[in-house]
Chains A and B, each alone.
Chain A
Amino acid sequence: MPLELGVVGGAAAFLAFAVALYGAVVGSLGAWRRDARLMTSARLSSVAGFLLATVAVVVMQTALLTDDFSVSYVAAHSRIASPIWVKVVTMWAALEGSILLWAWLLSGYTALLAAIAPLSPLRPWALAIMQGVQTFFFFVLAFLANPFTVLAVPPLDGPGPNELLQNHWMMAVHPLLMYLGFVGLTVPFAYAMAALITRRPGSEWMTVTRRWTLTGWGFLSAAIVAGGWWSYEVLGWGGYWAWDPVENVSLMPWLTATAFIHSVQVQERRQMLKPWNVMLILLTFSLSILGTFLTRSGVVSSVHAFGNGPVGPAFLAFFLLVTLGAFALLAVRWDDVKDRAELDSLVSREGSFLGVNVLFLALTFAVLLGTLFPLIVEAVSGARVTVGPPFFDQVTLPLWLLVLLLMGIGPLLPWRKAEDQLLSRNLAWLLGGLVVSGALAWVLGVRKVYPMLTVALAGYNLVSLALLLTGALVPRLRLATRPAVVVIRRYAFENRRRVGSMVVHFAVVIIAVGVAFSSGYRVDEQLRVDIGGSAQFEGYTLTALDTFMEQTPGRISSGAIVQVSRDGAFVGTLRPRLNVFGAGGRPIPTPAVLYRPSHDVYLNLNSTVGPDTQFVVLRAVKSPLVTWIWVGGLVLVFGVIYSLGGATRALPAHATRASTVAQEA
């Protein structure tokens, strides 16, 4: 009898669990006793864990691609007729496979960390904590949500993955980005805990992990923007963010991580906010676990809730263990961690970082409250309620605007205390940018409060970026003997972190404007269009030329061919459709979008289409500037990559080299 795939996969998952447990226990023991042999053994075990997890992933992919329905996960979530990319992606289209992916990425990061992390007293503890986290994930995989269970009587075919997920290729990318983000941010968490355990609360743990943190943050940001674009392209209501619990739980760790990457700079420069930074990275990690509990346990029902089971409670238990354990550790080590320096002035770089931290925490709290409130109400009074988008908009919009306000002024403030003269000069410029762009928006017809404030703050932020650049470049150009291009290029290469942060802030401005206009000036209508006839929508003429029917392996589409024209001139052709995946599947409305820089025209089919269809009902949405959100997302990712290019040259190293040079001179 040939060895069944499910048996191999299950064995690999179990061994990965055993190895992770070994690594966590032996690693801590070795670090505790300072036994080099134990530490090395634990370090090597992380590579073994990664290899075992890779075996499990390869087995799963083989089973999916060869339609081996004796593997329970394949039977429950795959289908013979699916195209190859859907089969590959099916691995993370449901709960068990997502945990496999998460565990695999985590083991990969741990092995990479074991290979490249510099030797330090922190490293063994950090690796032990990474392997501890892995132990949890492989435990869930091997015992609670085993995707490799062998079915005695395999079905001939399966139902295929969730239709909404196979309806767009972005589903191949978005979860990967999300997990890469979560896993990346586990590294600074592990180092922070190691710093507490070893009583080294200085900035070593954060300088070592800077690349990991920034990478994780970049992936998480990209995942959130990509998820928004997926919703826009798939869900058919013409929006990208509905304050759905599953969206909220991805936003919360991002908010705390964003606070973290700002406030670590205060610790690096001023040795302040130490307990605060530990808390932020702990919150980031535990919120990613809490989010998984909330969405996967089904307590908050949404598209991503894959049903009930033991996995939800396990994540809740792990969340409580991590949070309470880490806070207890922080309390025990309080005397080592607590700040000795005091803030000199609120009007300083560190003051603005502190302010933006408070804002991000307030945003996190508001989102958490809005997400959990229905559960609280149901537990207390039994009434079923939902907290609608108005709550989140009312509470978070002012906070977002304050974030934009601080984003402009913060980088212009010096550390410690701002000089009055320079400060008032900068403030005058910023105020000028604010007023001019606000007035410009008014002249162009913007009358709504939030879009107008956003435009004003966008102008203010552009002025701020210009001031930062001129402040850095003008003195260099004045002193330089070389051509200006060389000087500018040199500045950009030598200050990657600074320039990268400017690029990211610029991206945030783009995204903010896109969000303000696409939500503030959205037009949403239902239109009845006869086949061969046309309807008017926001200055466009929508003509339903014909209906169509298409069949690809595994999918049947039917829809309308709609010609979009303006003032008699052809603009584009859209084909909103209904996709049916497999026999007995329900039709999934699939919108068609005309992307334009000024505004998108978005059509979704709200009626069925058959051979004798006389008319179609279209949901037409016009969203101004919405495309700039996706553009901003790309710019943001570029900014992060640009910063990472130079992140190896950490500040202390730089300073040391400078002092060595000074000594040699």
Chain B
Amino acid sequence: MRKKVVYAVLGVFVLVAAGLMIARALQTSLVYFVLPSEYARDASSFDGRKIRLAGLVEPGSVQFDDSGLQLTFNVTDTYETYPVRYGGAPPDMFQENGGVVIEGAFHEGVFVGDNLLVKHSNDYHPPAEGEAVDVEALKESLR
């Protein structure tokens, strides 16, 4: 009987420790997937956090310095726009008005990406001139 109590106490202890460890690890490694306007609404809560910023490449904003391998462009959902810096070559299919997802964090107003993904979805059609962008549809297409 005493043995059982010891095992039970040990078991509870292990479970609680594991639970705390898991909760802490989850807290620090959740990566939010947001569009620029969502980021703008809640900027302080993402402070210093790694996020996945998704949007369209703003036309005319793309610059690639091939000697230093620095790619800069603006990512936009037409409501908000942020400058992005990525240390690497533009990936294949990277184009103006194309969908991208950048993983990284903001440093002094510039989003510094570690990873740049090009999303080419057939489901999303950019709105015609003067029409508003459907943010939810855009987000779904970049997922």
Q: Does B85 contact A (CB under 8 A)?
A: no
**Given A386-B31, A587-B92, 11 additional A-B pairs, CB 8 A:** A343-B3, A358-B14, A369-B22, A383-B32, A390-B25, A391-B30, A526-B88, A527-B69, A586-B120, A589-B92, A617-B66
| A376 CB → nearest B CB, Å | 10
A504 to B89, CA, bound (A): 43
- Given A385-B31, A607-B89; A617-B50 close (CB under 8 Å): no
Q: Complex formed: what's the CA distance from A619 to B24 in Å?
A: 33
With known contacts A358-B14, A387-B29, A387-B30, A395–B21 Cβ distance under 8 A: yes
Decide: B66 and A528 in contact? CB cutoff 8 A.
yes
Q: Is the interface of A mostly helix, strand, loop or mixed?
A: mixed
How many angstroms from the CA of A23 to the CA of B59 in the assembled complex? 64
Q: Mark A92-122, 1 if CB is under 8 A from B, else 0.
A: 0000000000000000000000000000000
In the assembled complex, B93 has its CB within 8 A of some CB on chain A: yes
Question: CB-CB < 8 A to B88: which residues of A?
Answer: 526, 606, 617, 619
Q: Is the CB of A390 within 8 A of B29?
A: yes
Known: A383-B32, A384-B32. A617 touches B26 (CB 8 A): no
The contact sample of 24 A-B pairs, CB cut-off 8 A, is A301-B143, A369-B22, A370-B26, A377-B30, A384-B139, A385-B32, A386-B52, A387-B29, A387-B30, A388-B31, A389-B29, A390-B28, A391-B25, A391-B29, A394-B24, A398-B21, A528-B66, A578-B92, A586-B92, A586-B93, A589-B92, A606-B88, A615-B66, A619-B88
The CA-CA distance from A578 to B55 in the complex, in Å, is: 26
Is the pair A391, B89 in contact by a Cβ cutoff of 8 Å? Answer: no
**Chain A residues near B28 (CB, 8 Å)?**
390-391, 394
B18 touches A362 (CB 8 A): yes
When each residue 73-89 of chain B gets 1 if its CB lies under 8 Å from chain A and 0 otherwise, what string results? 00000000000000111
Rounded to whole Å, the gap between the CB of B122 and the closest CB of chain A is 12
Q: How many Å from the CB of A616 to the closest CB on chain B?
A: 9
CB atoms of B25 and A526 under 8 A apart:
no
Q: With a CB–CB cut-off of 8 A, which chain A residues contact B30? A: 373, 377, 385-388, 391
Q: Is A617 touching B143 in the complex (CB atoms < 8 A)?
A: no
Say if the beta carbon of B44 comes within 8 Å of chain A: no
In the complex the two chains form, what is the Cα distance from A589 to B91 in whole Å? 10
Determine how close the nearest CB of chain A comes to the CB of B91; give it in whole angstroms: 7
Interface centre among B21, B31, B32 (most CB of A within 10 A): B31
Closest to B25 in A: A394
Taking the closest CB of chain B, its distance from the CB of A162, in whole angstroms, is 15
Q: Mark B41-66, 1 if CB is under 8 A from A, else 0.
A: 00000000010100000000000001
Q: Which of A301, A394, A528, A607 contacts B29 (CB 8 A)?
A: A394
A18 close to B (CB within 8 Å) = no
Is A519 an interface position by the 8 A CB rule?
no
Interface residues of chain B, those whose CB is within 8 Å of chain A, are 3, 14, 18, 21-22, 24-26, 28-34, 50, 52, 66-67, 69, 87-89, 91-93, 120, 139, 143
Tell me, in angstroms, the Cα distance from A528 to B67 when the chains sit together.
7
Bitwise interface map of A from 602 to 646 toward B, beta carbon under 8 Å scored 1, else 0: 000011100000010101000000000000000000000000000
Residue of A nearest to B54 (CB): A384
Chain A, residues 568-612, CB within 8 Å of chain B (1/0): the string is 000000000010000000110100000000000000001110000
Q: Which residues of A contact B67 (CB under 8 A)?
A: 528
Q: Chain B's nearest CB lies how many Å from the CB of A272?
A: 14
Alpha-carbon distance between A155 and B93 when the two chains are bound, in angstroms: 28
Cα A608 to Cα B95 with chains together (Å): 14
Q: Which residues of B contact A377 (CB under 8 A)?
A: 30
Question: Across the interface, do B25 and A606 meet the contact criterion of CB distance under 8 Å?
Answer: no
Q: How far is the CA of A301 from the CA of B123 in the complex (A)?
A: 15
- Give the CA-CA distance A373 to B88 in the complex, in Å: 31
CB-based contact B29/A388 at 8 Å: yes
Tell whether A366 is near chain B: CB-to-CB under 8 Å: yes
Is there contact, CB below 8 Å, between A366 and B22? yes
Interface membership of A342, Cβ < 8 A: yes
Checking A369, A385, A391, A606 against B33 with a beta-carbon cut-off of 8 angstroms, the contacting residue is: A385
Considering the chains assembled together, what is the distance between the CA atoms of A384 and B31 in angstroms? 9
CA distance A370 to B30 in the complex (A): 10
Cβ proximity bits A320-362 to B, threshold 8 Å, 1 near / 0 not:
0000000000000000000000110000000000000010001
Bound together, the chains give a CA A10 to CA B88 distance in angstroms of 50
Contacts of A526 in B (CB 8 A): 69, 87-89
- Which residues of A sit under 8 angstroms from B29, Cβ to Cβ? 387-391, 394
Least CB distance, A293 to chain B, in whole angstroms: 19
How far, in angstroms, from A370 to B23 measured CA to CA in the complex? 11
Q: How far is the CA of A385 from the CA of B21 in the complex (A)?
A: 20
Q: Give, as a whole number of angstroms, the nearest-CB distance from A544 to chain B.
A: 14
Interface centre among B3, B22, B32 (most CB of A within 10 A): B22
B64 → A minimal CB distance (Å): 10
On whether the beta carbons of A388 and B50 are closer than 8 Å, the reply is yes
* Chain A min CB distance to B38 (Å): 9
The 3 A-B pairs at the shortest CB distance, nearest first, are namely A617-B89, A391-B29, A390-B29
Contact status of A395 and B14, CB under 8 A, knowing A385-B31, A606-B91 = no
Q: How far is the CA of A586 from the CA of B52 in the complex (A)?
A: 24
Distance from A397 Cβ to chain B, minimum over Cβ atoms (Å): 10
Whether A606 contacts B26 by the Cβ 8 Å rule is no
Chain B residues lying within 8 Å of A373, measured Cβ to Cβ, are 26, 30
